[in-house]
A = this chain, B = another copy of it.
Amino acid sequence: MANFASDNTSGVHPKILEALIKANEGDAPAYGADEISAGLTARLRDFFEHDALEVFPVFNGSGANSVAIASLLKSFEGFICHKFAHVNQDECGMPEFFSGGKALPLSGLLGKLTPEGIEKIVAHSQIHMVHHVRPGCVTITQATEEGTVYDLEEIQEIGAVCQKHALPLHMDGARFYNAVMALNCTPAEMTWKAGVDVLSLGGTKNGAMMAEAIVYFNSEQAKDAPFYRKQLGQLASKHRYLAVQIHALLEDDLWRQNATHANQMAQKLGEGIANCEGCSLYNPVQANEVFAHLPLKTAETLEAKGHQFYPWTLLGADVYRFVASFNTPKADVEAFLADLKVA
């Protein structure tokens, strides 16, 4: 019985737990004034090869996205996003509430924004100025909500159109490490070198307990982030326990190991599904998620056997989502595929 429900149904990686235990020695100043938290900036500057980035650990991914967007927008502005973006579909209106602004959603193949789409929204906003919400930033999700990954050129092109219109570019990196492994690039190449200004750096879906971070590559934009993080409820008092989780993922390339495994399991799963009579992939498998067409009867049979996965009706009545995680057993994938064959 395989569990492909989500990468947040997995537990916490043992090394993260060890780090939490180790962080528990002695008292430490609250609210990020401790040494572990202080060391995180240097650690991430190294990781991202960027001397001036600023980092703000937060509790969860919606918090990271919404605080980031709030810090980039004025209340009359909007954030351009894919119509299926987590910020538009799955955060119960939090980015809008936190920023006062409005989602400006766009269609796009493979779950991706395009430079043309962004240009179109910008152009429309300039027709009857003040009546229309003014675009205030662009946000892309990497890996996307459809399991795909923007390649570097695609990000660069979006970065270029953002720069042209002075729109900060935010990246929702809930599955950031999976995407880095998919592209086999450096974290720098996938972010600031491609034009990304602010990153929601995921941790929870890659083995942390609860820890994400907002990373600003532009220190001017980070200026008020401490206040936004506080007012919007994402500042932890015992802050070291957030920071240490992010440290632990970077230690000994744990992030790489976790993301690689998840991606490989998804790859294997995707191949198996694609090869199954009557089934087909909805999108190519590029990170740790598989979106596939399954006959209803097949899906029901698999569910009856206890396999867990979600119908994804946004993409079609016969589309299902399967998520692999850092701890997905290879045997579970194989067992699922065996059941699939006979379903």
Contact = CB atoms under 8 A, between A and B. Distances in A.
Interface of A: 3, 5-6, 8-12, 14, 17, 20-21, 23-31, 59-63, 66, 70, 74-78, 89-94, 96-98, 100-103, 124, 127-134, 204-205, 209-210, 224, 226-238, 241-242, 313-314, 327
Contact of A27 (B3, B60, B232): B3
B97 A232 contact: yes
Does more than half of chain A's interface fall in helix, strand or loop, or is it mixed?
loop
Contacts of A75: 70, 75, 93, 97, 100, 228, 231
A280 to B, nearest CB: 23
Interface-centre pick from A8, A242, A314 (highest chain B CB count, 10 A):
A8
Contacts of A27: 3, 9-11, 327
Contacts of A209: 20, 238, 241
A221 B31 CA distance: 32
Contacts of A132: 89-90, 92
Nearest to A134: B227
A76 B61 CA distance: 18
Contacts of A242: 210
Contacts of A313: 124, 127
Given A227-B74, A233-B62, A233-B233, A9 B24 contact: no
Nearest to A3: B27
8 contacts: A11-B23, A11-B24, A66-B233, A89-B131, A92-B132, A92-B133, A209-B241, A210-B210
A235 B10 contact: no
Given A60-B235, A209-B20, A96 B94 contact: no
